[in-house]
Amino acid sequence: MAYEQLKLENQLCFPVYASSRLITREYQPYLDQLGITYPQYLVLLILWEDDHLPVKDIAKKLILNTNTITPLLKRMEQQGLVSRKRSEADERKVFVRLTEKGLQMKDEASLIPHELFKRLIQSGIKVDDLIKLKDNLNDMISFMTK
């Protein structure tokens, strides 16, 4: 083939894309038990680490636009997981805080990463390789978001 660079097997983007989709699929049974989606899980991870954040900060951490995250947060508010409150000092800012229900979900959700990690290790992938992969992907993300 004259265009080797256009073969799917030669693309970096495809294994990253496929891995992301497959990892999300592995998470799904656990998230279904919690009644949340994967994007909602990501928001909860951020808030469990640092509660009461502006929408803008959550969007930045997820590398999303605020207009993408706002409908997600509205659904989470309807589910009783978070509350949103406009800043009194600057009405353009909306702060997001976990509700009691959102906080209580943390214990059950804390088992999810371990379960996925356990499944990956059972497949024969080495722990050091998983850590190196995560670090390399984070380096790539840092470079591409500059």
Instruction: Tell me the per-residue pLDDT of 94-129, one tens digit each, with 9 for 90 and over.
Output: 999 999 999 999 999 999 999 998 988 999 999 999
- At 58-93, the pLDDT tens digits run 999 999 999 999 999 999 999 999 999 998 888 889
* Residue 61 exposed, middle or buried by CB count within 10 Å (0-12, 13-18, 19+): middle
For the entire predicted model, the pTM comes to 0.91
Domains of the chain, CATH where assigned? 1-34+111-146 (no CATH), 39-100 (1.10.10.10)
Within 35-88, strands assigned E span: 53-54, 82-86
Asked if 67 contacts 117 with a C-beta cutoff of 8 angstroms, the reply is no
C-alpha distances out from residue 41 to 13, 59, 95, 108, Å: 24, 14, 18, 12
C-alpha span between 37 and 144 (Å, rounded): 26
